[in-house]
Structure 1
Amino acid sequence: MAPAKKRNVKLANSSQASPKKTKIDLSSKVEGILESRKNANDVFDIFEFLQSEEEKDVVQAVDACGHLFCQLLETRRLYRGKLPEEEEALKGPHSAEDKYHIFMRHRYHSCVEMLLEHLSHELHGVQEVSLCCLMKFAAGQGQHPLEDLDWSQHFSFPVKLLQAVVDRLLSRTADQSLLISRFQEFLEKDDVRYYIMGCIRQNLVRVMDHSKGKDMAAYLNNVFSLMCNISMPKKEAELCNFMLPQEAKHEDWKATKLNEHKRNFEWMWLGLLKYKLPSSMYKKILVILHDSILPHLRTPTLMIDFLTAAYDVGGAISLLALNALFVLMHQHNLDYPDFYKKLYNLLEPSIFHVKYRARFFHLLDLFLTSSHLPLYLVAAFAKRLARLALLAPPTALLILLPFIANLVRRHPSCRVLLHKPGADDEAVEDPFVMEEEEPAQCGALDSSLWEIKTLQRHYHPDVAKAAMLFNTPLSGGEDDINRLLETTTYQLMEKDLKVSSKKVPLEFEGATRLLDADKDVLGRLFCLH
């Protein structure tokens, strides 16, 4: 939205009144401006309040401007068409009515510019009322266009105003997440959401292409916050909530087509993902990718390169890429031959301490559910998990042991790992190679799950009890590990402390002195003189 060249140009032969900073005064000035063209210059008094340092004055001025210019838009008292320069128009051969319309149109642009500046105001209250007023203007322009646009493209929708709002929301320095959450209300309008997605994409191209060597953390967080607030419809019948009035819509309008919404949504996300992002941003995107992004893409397989690259990174990013990769494999026939090999190599001691441990084990259980997996692969996973159990904390062990038991239940041929002949009678070298990256060559089938025998003497009684279950024939029903995925150390300690309120005896004979030479070995070995 282009600003007026000179804001101090006043319409000739119009009265002026000295402003008083009260709500009643602003309301009366608005009414006076709407009643007579002679009061047109009173708009400058409202602008003085709009630039005040007092929040209350600014809020009242924003309300006054919203009422004034929405009325002028509705009554078509703003100049329509290409806006001429103000000074030349007021001196030119235009009629008095045209000069008034040109004058008020320039004031409208000046107001929009000041409201856009207020979107970066230090006070959130000023930001919020300014945003709401700008969106009122957008609705007014949608219903009463100021310019004749190409109806085959945008149907006179105020795209320029929306682009200006998006540019301010996507600040490069300030955190605008709070204001963006307020903007979510307007994104519920289907036509607004459609054009906002295009505005975000244009902003990304303009900003990111010139951001080499600059800190873009604040900007990217704002972009992600705004994009996450976009909720896509699932069916075309849901496209029924428009800001543009029903009678103004055309049957070929792109904003009424679900496929066009998906196109904009796809271009918007691909436009972000083509740039190099910080690892924290990748994690945020991967957390929502399978549920909030992939289902709304026209061609979900376009994410293959991004996901395979993320899966190769390792660590938490690889764990988070699993969900979306599984969706592409299961629903879109993605051929990923090394999937289980890479999944196998993700099993490292660090998985017990990452933030997304519960999600990983839920997905791992899902991936190993199929009964068509080869025996060597299931045995490799069971053996690797058992070896990792020797290094795992109790909270992780309470997940791992039922997990391994479920694998044996699903694949009875793996019971040979539990009952290896001669494994308990003599000490032999374990043929399993933990460092081998290929599951088929790790030697799991030639080994046994001796690690579980070791865990039967674990210091934590719950772990020892879970490991002892392997000594009995495993029941046919699988254990529900989902209820164990979120178990924390604090919860385990609370459980142990609440098991019994009775005092726990530490010795069956009370101590009479520090070292008892007659009964205590320590007393016999050490004599105090």
Structure 2
Amino acid sequence: MAPSLKRNVKKAKSETSVKKAQIDLNNVVFNILQSRKHANDVFDIFEALQSEEENDVVKAINACSNLFCTLLERNELFNGKLPAEDDALNGDYNAEDKYRIFMRHRYNNCTEMLLEHLSHELHAVQEASLCCLMKFAAGEGKHPLMDLDWSEHHSFPRELIQSIVDRMLSQTMDKSLLISRFYEFLEKEDVRYYVMSSIRGNIGQVMDKSKGEVMPVYQLNVFTLMSNISVPKEQSKLSNFMVKQEAKHEDWKAAKLLEHKRTFERMWLGFLKHKLPSNMYKKVLVMLHDAILPHMSEPTMMIDFLTAAYDVGGAISLLALNGLFILVHKHNLEYPDFYKKLYNLLEPSIFHVKYQARFFHLANLFLSSSHLPLYIVAAFAKRLARLALTAPPAALLFVLPFIYNLIRRHPSSRILIHKPSAEDELLEDPYLMDEDDPAQCRALESSLWEIKTLQRHYHPDVVKAAMLINTSLSPNEDDLSEVLEITTFELMDRDLKTSTKSIPLEFETATQLLSPGKDVMGQHFCLE
């Protein structure tokens, strides 16, 4: 037989076997639901569930979903504390109870296999298992399998949700893709509440045992799941539940906004109290001000994390200041060293970091108050002016307007521009660049001579901006948003496009090639 023909026969057999498996599984489910004498056929589904073929496993998962969701709706699974299977067979149970106990054990077996499949190497199997387990959770919510605890959790299947969360928060496998599939289930208020509780419990078990070690894969999975959890701002928004509870059960925590905020807060605090990788610090701090702090019941509890993040240094310190400012400005937190820390972040490297635009936008916001002491305004203006001497042109186009805005907000700081001195007297600048405390840097004793120096800069736009210091500044502040994001490449590209004059390429126009004159070409080259 030719090789191509062999392949076609093999392919046909494979397609036939797959189709047969699909028909068999559908028949198995149908027969089990039609007659209890076929109950043992459930093991055929479990056999397919452990197959090595992706299609067979996915079809077996769908069969499990159809079978056990139907059994849950019919209340044909044993309710209450489940006895051992051997005890049920030998005990004083009637045929009905024995069947219900048998199928309840098979349901538990199925759930365990599906939980294992959440770590399957194939994403299609993981996704199908997750969707099936969430259907089981919804079915258990409507038809509880355990005695109800009306005092707190009611009929919600919190143990199943905890098991699902534990498997998604793997310590060895990146589950970002599976977690992204789980986001749609977080739209349900009760699911979101118990997922937050489960995350908190999982962090307590895993991170506390790690003894401070950084666990990048696990922490990435936790952050990926937590970063897409948000809490409604109003109690009236809590209306979309997976498990409907009776109106009389008003003590259910999952239905209270305050409990959601408390659980959200404890979840994040439990995660952030452990050591994180530097890239994780950045991810948390970028979203902290609008995705975490507004949903917390007591945002001031983040002060320890923010101060620790600032001490890390670099870009992490820049991002931490935004959260600190929110706590100071909106939550009346006393943080006397805030402006001192902000002042110390002004270093030459500030013009070369990824978050440069974000930092200066925030710094402009932090220094917008007209009630700031004059020595602080003078210290920031002077330090920025000194840094401007070595800054790239693109940075100077927003640093100079930044300094001008400070002067406009605080007219008393104009003394830095008009500093009286003797014309023939050579003065040393009293400003102490290396001083960490803006109150001790002696900025008010100095002047902004650096801006005068920049009037001889090589870039014409910088010269134009620096020349404004010679005139009376207008009362209207400059809009920094237009220049904060500009790069050196964009600056050069803009200059090339807007330039209408010819650019000289020679100092002296060449009249002939390799002329025997006194020019450099004639001295070193000849036509002989």
After TM superposition, the score normalised by the length of structure 1 is: 0.91
Gapped runs of 5+ residues in structure 2? 1-16
Alignment-mate amino acid for residue 299 of structure 2: P
Distance in 2 separating the partners of 1:417 and 1:243: 65
Q: Which residue of 1 aligns with 2:120?
A: 121
TM-aligned CA deviation for residue 360 of structure 1: 0.8
Deviations along 1:223-251, one digit per CA (max 9) or x if unpaired, are 01111111211100000000002548721
Alignment-mate amino acid for residue 331 of structure 1: K
Alignment-mate amino acid for residue 122 of structure 2: L
Gapped runs of 5+ residues in structure 1? 1-17
TM-aligned CA deviation for residue 52 of structure 1: 1.3
Further displaced range: 449-458 or 327-336: 449-458
TM-aligned CA deviation for residue 517 of structure 1: 4.9
Q: Which residue of 1 aligns with 2:5?
A: none
Aligned residue runs from structure 1 range 327-476, under 5 A: 327-422=326-421, 427-476=426-475
TM-aligned CA deviation for residue 311 of structure 1: 2.5
Report if aligned partners of 1:149, 1:155 keep a CA contact under 8 Å in 2.
Answer: yes
Alignment-mate amino acid for residue 263 of structure 2: N
Q: Which residue of 1 aligns with 2:166?
A: 167
Q: Do the aligned partners of residues 441 and 43 (structure 1) sit closer, same or farther apart at CA in structure 2, a change above 3 Å counting? A: same
Alignment-mate amino acid for residue 322 of structure 2: N
Distance in 1 separating the partners of 2:19 and 2:482: 66
TM-aligned CA deviation for residue 411 of structure 1: 1.3
Aligned residue runs from structure 1 range 220-369, under 5 A: 220-247=219-246, 250-369=249-368
Distance in 2 separating the partners of 1:246 and 1:336: 45
Deviations along 1:11-60, one digit per CA (max 9) or x if unpaired, are xxxxxxx9974323212211111111011111111112211111111111
Distance in 2 separating the partners of 1:249 and 1:138: 23
2:204 counterpart of 1:205: yes
Aligned residue runs from structure 1 range 76-115, under 5 A: 76-115=75-114
Query: SS of the counterpart of 2:271?
Result: helix
Query: SS of the counterpart of 1:459?
Result: coil
Q: Do the aligned partners of residues 103 and 502 (structure 1) sit closer, same or farther apart at CA in structure 2, a change above 3 Å counting? A: farther
Distance in 2 separating the partners of 1:263 and 1:413: 47
Further displaced range: 21-30 or 131-140: 21-30
Q: Do the aligned partners of residues 514 and 480 (structure 1) sit closer, same or farther apart at CA in structure 2, a change above 3 Å counting? A: farther
Alignment-mate amino acid for residue 121 of structure 2: E
Distance in 2 separating the partners of 1:144 and 1:347: 62
TM-aligned CA deviation for residue 508 of structure 1: 6.7
Q: Do the aligned partners of residues 451 and 39 (structure 1) sit closer, same or farther apart at CA in structure 2, a change above 3 Å counting? A: same
Query: SS of the counterpart of 1:266?
Result: helix
Deviations along 1:321-357, one digit per CA (max 9) or x if unpaired, are 1111111111111111121112111111111112211
Q: Which residue of 2 aligns with 1:29?
A: 28
Further displaced range: 207-216 or 194-203: 207-216
Report if aligned partners of 1:19, 1:25 keep a CA contact under 8 Å in 2.
Answer: no
Alpha-carbon RMSD across the aligned residues, in angstroms, is 2.2
Q: Which residue of 2 aligns with 1:180?
A: 179
Distance in 1 separating the partners of 2:186 and 2:495: 49
Distance in 1 separating the partners of 2:363 and 2:214: 37
Report if aligned partners of 1:21, 1:49 keep a CA contact under 8 Å in 2.
Answer: no
Q: Do the aligned partners of residues 457 and 301 (structure 1) sit closer, same or farther apart at CA in structure 2, a change above 3 Å counting? A: same
Distance in 2 separating the partners of 1:491 and 1:159: 55
Report if aligned partners of 2:214, 2:275 keep a CA contact under 8 Å in 1.
Answer: no
Further displaced range: 96-105 or 423-432: 423-432
Q: Which residue of 2 aligns with 1:48?
A: 47
Distance in 2 separating the partners of 1:199 and 1:398: 50
Q: Do the aligned partners of residues 506 and 423 (structure 1) sit closer, same or farther apart at CA in structure 2, a change above 3 Å counting? A: farther
2:152 counterpart of 1:153: yes
Distance in 1 separating the partners of 2:247 and 2:145: 15
Distance in 2 separating the partners of 1:190 and 1:424: 74
Aligned residue runs from structure 1 range 490-509, under 5 A: 490-500=489-499, 503-507=502-506, 509=508
Further displaced range: 137-146 or 467-476: 467-476
Report if aligned partners of 1:380, 1:445 keep a CA contact under 8 Å in 2.
Answer: yes
Further displaced range: 84-93 or 196-205: 84-93
Q: Do the aligned partners of residues 80 and 469 (structure 1) sit closer, same or farther apart at CA in structure 2, a change above 3 Å counting? A: same
Deviations along 1:489-512, one digit per CA (max 9) or x if unpaired, are 222232123224775232374323
Q: Which residue of 1 aligns with 2:190?
A: 191
Report if aligned partners of 1:398, 1:466 keep a CA contact under 8 Å in 2.
Answer: yes
Q: Which residue of 1 aligns with 2:14?
A: none
Q: Which residue of 2 aligns with 1:14?
A: none
Distance in 2 separating the partners of 1:403 and 1:368: 10
Q: Do the aligned partners of residues 424 and 368 (structure 1) sit closer, same or farther apart at CA in structure 2, a change above 3 Å counting? A: farther
Alignment-mate amino acid for residue 188 of structure 1: E
Aligned residue runs from structure 1 range 478-497, under 5 A: 478-497=477-496
Percent of aligned pairs with the same amino acid: 70
Query: SS of the counterpart of 2:439?
Result: helix
Q: Do the aligned partners of residues 425 and 171 (structure 1) sit closer, same or farther apart at CA in structure 2, a change above 3 Å counting? A: farther
User: How many residues are paired up?
Assistant: 509
TM-aligned CA deviation for residue 301 of structure 1: 1.4
TM-aligned CA deviation for residue 308 of structure 1: 2.2
Q: Do the aligned partners of residues 424 and 196 (structure 1) sit closer, same or farther apart at CA in structure 2, a change above 3 Å counting? A: farther
Query: SS of the counterpart of 1:22?
Result: helix
Q: Which residue of 2 aligns with 1:68?
A: 67
Q: Do the aligned partners of residues 376 and 476 (structure 1) sit closer, same or farther apart at CA in structure 2, a change above 3 Å counting? A: same
Distance in 2 separating the partners of 1:19 and 1:57: 7
Report if aligned partners of 2:18, 2:56 keep a CA contact under 8 Å in 1.
Answer: no
Further displaced range: 345-354 or 197-206: 345-354
Alignment-mate amino acid for residue 398 of structure 2: I
Alignment-mate amino acid for residue 290 of structure 2: D
Further displaced range: 343-352 or 162-171: 343-352
Further displaced range: 404-413 or 503-512: 503-512
Q: Do the aligned partners of residues 78 and 516 (structure 1) sit closer, same or farther apart at CA in structure 2, a change above 3 Å counting? A: farther
TM-aligned CA deviation for residue 422 of structure 1: 4.0
Q: Do the aligned partners of residues 118 and 69 (structure 1) sit closer, same or farther apart at CA in structure 2, a change above 3 Å counting? A: same
Report if aligned partners of 1:19, 1:45 keep a CA contact under 8 Å in 2.
Answer: no
Deviations along 1:336-390, one digit per CA (max 9) or x if unpaired, are 1121112111111111112211111011101111111111211110000010111
Distance in 1 separating the partners of 2:436 and 2:515: 55
